[in-house]
Amino acid sequence: MPSLEINGQSIEVETGSNVLQAAEQLDIHVPRYCYHPGLSVAGSCRMCLVEIEKMPKLAISCHIQAQDGMKVSTESEKVKQARKSMLEFLLVNHPLDCPVCDQSGECDLQNYYMEVGQYDSRFLENKIKRRKAVPIGPHVILDQERCILCTRCTRFCNEISQSNELGVFNRGNRSVIDLAPAKTLDNPYSGNVIDICPVGALTEREFRFQCRVWYLSTQESICNGCSRGCNISIHYNTSLSYKAGGKRVQRLKPRLNPHVNRWWMCDEGRFGYEFIDHNRIESPQLRAVQGKLQTSDWEQVLQEVSTGLKTTLENFGPEGIGVIASPQLSNEELYLIRKIFAESMGVQEIGTRNPWEKEGFEDDFLIRGDKNPNSRGAEELGLNSDVKAILEKAASGKIKILYIFQHNFESPEAQEMLGQAGYVIFQGTNWNKTVEVSNAVLPGATYAEKDGTFTNFEGRLQRFQQALLPLSESKSDIEILSTLARKLGYPVTYLDAEEIFREWWGRTYQELEEFGELLNGQKR
Amino acid sequence: MAIKQVERDLTFRERIYILEILKALRLTARHLFRNLFVHIAHRFGLLRRLRGGVTYQYPEERRPFSPRLRTLHRLTRRQDGSPRCVACMMCETVCPAHCIYIVGGEHPDPQIEKYPVRFDIDLGLCVFCGYCVEACPEDAIRMDTGKLEFSSYSREGLIHDLQELLSRSTTPPKR
Ligand code: SF4
Ligand code: SF4
Ligand code: SF4
Ligand code: SF4
Ligand code: FES
């Protein structure tokens, strides 16, 4: 293991790591454009130049291996001068687009230029014009003028998505990034090139001009798009409600988790946040006898639901109640459902898996066929009964009252069974086919509006955190269930998800490992 | 800034009061008679050089504005008449009163790229600091209309939209 000295601090690093990584371990940030930890080294931007003792010239720290006894300086005058010159070079044909550029505010050109910049321009020639605002795929817009040719995007398409859509064309100062002939950037991971592009050359179509990045707040979360459980940040804006038509969630970005998704996420997850602000059930609903659903208030709906559950329990016992939980719910919520319905009421059969849901697209990288984030969690909690059997019992009248969470039962078979069921309670976030046949509707919160944990397909327990308040009148599922339980006379006193997590997992959220924990076969 | 208190004892003359009152009355009377005289002289077309009175007969008579005065906002236009503003939201960001509301949109011309779909200024909140003008990288917003009267019977009436802001022109300052 080589040991070297960087800016006077010594550090020992793994054999084979480069100087830039060594500096990173000392929390020294070396400016870089082309280097990305998830991609091969290109060494083309020359922004990461450092001075190494006994070397005649400055060296690029992303490519040079850390060796024993090296004395590196990342902040010497010579290095700063080199950075300044490199920036001047990169900006020779760069447009002054910052006012209309979506990257502005999170642009590495801006950031480094503020540190070391050649503030007085020496450039007298005319800038070379290139193509602007070219849609190169369903999610990505390319601006060739802003590109600094770091080739991160092409390396991503070659190495990670392995679809080879992008390349560098022409030579010298006429070089441009462009699509390979007859291709469009439509691979299932295309959104990642937007994140890794250090400048505003690749921008997101969905996010374009919706909001300035400095208005956004972020919260750490877990993607609910499939059972991989990619780590994400939710970028949201709640203070300026006139932006983006009042949409609160503006974009999702992947967050590093070396065990799950590394730096990436898929497009389906990235752009699958629409349901958080769209088509939501905003207030509790009750169906008048044989009539339409009508907006009601929480007190009334919970009263009706609890009375219904109580009388069924008294007259028919727990067999009269059917519960279909959802793999979209968090472990905490599922635990609470188990506690109330199975442990307190004695309901034997609680199912989660929708038998009509087909496996979706799956590949060997991130995307999983199971589009639910917490199927494994539900399984581990023992909520495994056959949903079809429960629905059949409801249709035949054995089950009098059916409590469905979140599921959209749109198949004709399920619709028919639901139509014959006695009393259906729906608790969930969005309008769907199940809501249409329900008698009482309790609006719940989406994953962005609550705290909790999901267990991904390989049994990794990961935490997500609340970014937004539940929309309009909706409430977190834990709050709804706790209130309901108290109305039914069960001593449920949880205030938040963490309290349930402590009871279930035995630790606080703070104590959960940063990158999640494997279940290791413990059943709880 | 710290406050400095100056202790000062009144003199005997000040303490008996009456002399001070007479001093003040003399000043008032001097202005009264001077104005009386000057205004009568103006009636006869005399002594035009002297200004009579101290009150501007607003709104018939207006004070000349300094050319630097910050007056009602306007948005400037390109040569083809479209707004210069590119919805960069610098003014919206810098505005200390948070009274500018901008929604950006995609412009069909990729050389322009972005334009304001909505641009509202709530003058009921604006403090006329002029930061928006300073922040604008496109010289798209100015406070040089020379207008200061924009009262309204409702709060909504104080919210000026894109069309209203574009319709104004500059008034060259009177000297
Ligand atoms: S890429 Fe960066 S420097 Fe270039 S126009 Fe966009 S924000 Fe400005
Ligand atoms: S488009 Fe962005 S990521 Fe691709 S080469 Fe240009 S600057 Fe780099
Ligand atoms: S003058 Fe000041 S307060 Fe008024 S809109 Fe401009 S920045 Fe805002
Ligand atoms: S700063 Fe200027 S260009 Fe930017 S949004 Fe305001 S008026 Fe428009
Ligand atoms: S980051 Fe080292 S050369 Fe680009």
Averaged pLDDT score across all residues of chain A: 93
Residue B164 parent element (H or E): helix B162-167
What pLDDT does B47 receive? 85
Q: What is the mean pLDDT of residues A43-52?
A: 94
Whether B141 is in the pocket of ligand 4, judged by its Cβ within 6 Å, is yes
- The CATH number that applies at residue A72 is 3.10.20.740
Q: Enumerate residues lining ligand 5, CB below 6 A.
A: A 32-35, 43-48, 60, 62
| Structural domain span for residue A101 | 97-108+122-209
Report the candidate in A247, A274, A216, A199 with the shortest Cα–Cα distance to residue B89.
A216
Are A467 and A219 a contacting pair, CB within 8 Å? yes
Residue of A nearest to B138 (CA): A99
Q: Check whether residue A293 and residue A366 sit in a common domain.
A: yes
- Does any CB of chain A come closer than 8 Å to the CB of residue B163? no
Query: Which pLDDT band holds residue B174 (cuts at 50, 70, 90)?
Result: low
- The CATH number that applies at residue A181 is 3.30.70.20
Q: How far out from the chain centre does Cα B8 lie?
A: 39
Are residues B93 and A212, on separate chains, in Cβ contact within 8 Å?
Answer: yes
Q: Check whether residue A182 and residue A295 sit in a common domain.
A: no
**Residue ending a domain, choose from A209, A225, A244:** A209
Min Cα separation A111/chain B (Å): 17
What pLDDT does A522 receive? 58
Kindly tell me if the per-residue pLDDT of B175 is higher than 80.
Answer: no
- CB nearest to B106's CB, from A134, A208, A212: A208
Length of chain A (residues): 524
pLDDT tens readout for residues A273-291? 999 999 999 999 999 877 8
Give the Cα separation of A425 and B6 in Å (integer): 79
Give the pair of three-digit tokens for residue A146.
């802003």
What pLDDT does A213 receive? 96
Give the Cα separation of A184 and A262 in Å (integer): 25
Kindly tell me if the per-residue pLDDT of A390 is higher than 70.
Answer: yes
Q: Enumerate residues lining ligand 3, CB below 6 A.
A: B 95-97, 99-100, 121, 126-132
Kindly tell me if the per-residue pLDDT of B14 is higher than 90.
Answer: no
Contacts 24+ apart (CB under 8 A), A286-293: A286/A439, A286/A440, A286/A441, A287/A438, A287/A439, A287/A440, A293/A435, A293/A438, A293/A441
Give the Cα separation of A304 and A488 in Å (integer): 11
What pLDDT does B54 receive? 64
Q: Check whether residue A76 and residue A151 sit in a common domain.
A: no
Q: Which residues contact B152 (CB under 8 A, 6 or more apart)?
A: B158
Relative orientation angle of helices A108-115 and A77-90, to the nearest 10 degrees = 140
Give the Cα separation of A314 and A311 in Å (integer): 5
pLDDT tens readout for residues A65-111? 999 999 999 999 999 999 999 999 999 999 989 999 999 999 999 99
Domain count across chain A: 3
What atom in ligand 3 is closest to the CA of residue B121? 5
Q: Check whether residue A82 and residue A126 sit in a common domain.
A: no
- CB nearest to A209's CB, from B105, B110, B112: B105
What pLDDT does B3 receive? 79
Task: List the single best residue of A97, A100, A241 to mutate versus B (max B Cβ within 10 A).
Answer: A100
Question: In this structure, is residue A343 part of a structural domain?
Answer: yes
- Minimum CA distance residue for ligand 1 atom 7: A104
Give the pair of three-digit tokens for residue A24.
């990173």
Kindly tell me if the per-residue pLDDT of B127 is higher than 90.
Answer: yes
Q: What is the mean pLDDT of residues A2-23?
A: 94
Interface of A with B in 101-140 (CB under 8 A): 104, 131-134
Are A139 and A153 a contacting pair, CB within 8 Å? no
Q: Check whether residue A72 and residue A154 sit in a common domain.
A: no
What pLDDT does A302 receive? 95
Averaged pLDDT score across all residues of chain B: 90
A234/B15: higher pLDDT: A234
Q: Check whether residue A47 and residue A159 sit in a common domain.
A: no
Total-model pTM:
0.89
Q: What is the mean pLDDT of residues B72-93?
A: 95
Give the pair of three-digit tokens for residue A263.
């730096």
Q: Which of A156-160, A179-183, B15-19 has the lowest mean pLDDT?
A: B15-19
What pLDDT does B95 receive? 97
Whether the ipTM is more than 0.85: the answer is yes
Query: Which pLDDT band holds residue A252 (cuts at 50, 70, 90)?
Result: very high
- Does any CB of chain A come closer than 8 Å to the CB of residue B123? no
Q: Specify the pairing of strand A401-405 against strand A321-324.
A: parallel
Q: Check whether residue A69 and residue A199 sit in a common domain.
A: no
Kindly tell me if the per-residue pLDDT of B146 is higher than 60.
Answer: yes
What pLDDT does A524 receive? 52
Q: What are the chain A neighbours of B93 within 8 Å (beta carbons)? A: 212, 214
Q: Check whether residue A355 and residue A305 sit in a common domain.
A: yes
Question: In this structure, is residue A336 part of a structural domain?
Answer: yes
Q: Check whether residue A441 and residue A486 sit in a common domain.
A: yes
Query: Which pLDDT band holds residue B1 (cuts at 50, 70, 90)?
Result: low
Query: Which pLDDT band holds residue B173 (cuts at 50, 70, 90)?
Result: low
**Residue ending a domain, choose from A209, A230, A245:** A209
Reported in sequence order, the residue ranges of chain B that DSSP labels E, i.e. its strands, are: 74-75, 100-106, 114-122, 141-142, 159-160
Are A351 and A327 a contacting pair, CB within 8 Å? no
Task: List the single best residue of A212, A213, A216, A241 to mutate versus B (max B Cβ within 10 A).
Answer: A212
Q: What is the mean pLDDT of residues B128-141?
A: 96
pLDDT tens readout for residues A178-206? 999 999 999 999 999 999 999 999 999 99
Question: In this structure, is residue A403 part of a structural domain?
Answer: yes
